[in-house]
Amino acid sequence: MNKYDINGQNKQKAKATYFKPVLSNSRFWQLLMLMIILIISALAYADKTSTKVPQITVYKSPTCGCCTKWIKHLEKNGFRVESINSKKMQELKRTIGVNPKYQSCHTGLIDGYYIEGHVPAKDIKRLLKEKPHAIGLSVPGMPMGSPGMEGPRKDPYSVLLIKKDKTTEVYSKN
């Protein structure tokens, strides 16, 4: 077999000139590293944006309508809600440490805090942003006009910040 073509050129050498790589080795590795960095950055960004949706677990009586309305209020305001029906709400509140004078009909748990009663979503978002030295927020009782208790009238109410030393302060007035 002849290794030269009819023009007398080496066939192997001729083949190599036709199939020269478009990129040099170092350029190829630079582009590959850039692609890897871009993919990792995109994944990190996607991970951060997915964690911006606050997740709250809400314990409520299976028959409570205002609790369901409050959950809908949270969902409309960007919260992801896990709802758990319980017939042992008083036991749960005692275990969590909710003082009876601050209790309401449902209890939420989010990011190490408890949310007792009809607390507006904006106050929960503020709590998560500020991260005060506290155990939770409470709207004692069931004031008319609070989220989940909408109706023909709106009573004034306060959201209380329950501090770790069990004292309270007004967190917001509504």
Q: Does the pTM of the predicted model rise above 0.75? A: no
CATH H-level, domain 55-173: superfamily: Glutaredoxin (3.40.30.10)
pLDDT in tens, 115-173: 999 999 999 999 999 999 999 999 998 999 999 999 999 999 999 999 999 999 999 99
- With the CA atoms of 61, 145, 110 and 92 taken in that order, what torsion angle do they form, in degrees rounded to the nearest 10? -30
Instruction: Give the whole-angstrom CA distance, residue 136 versus residue 132.
Output: 9
Sequence ranges of the domains in the chain = 11-50, 55-173
CA distance 115 to 92: 13
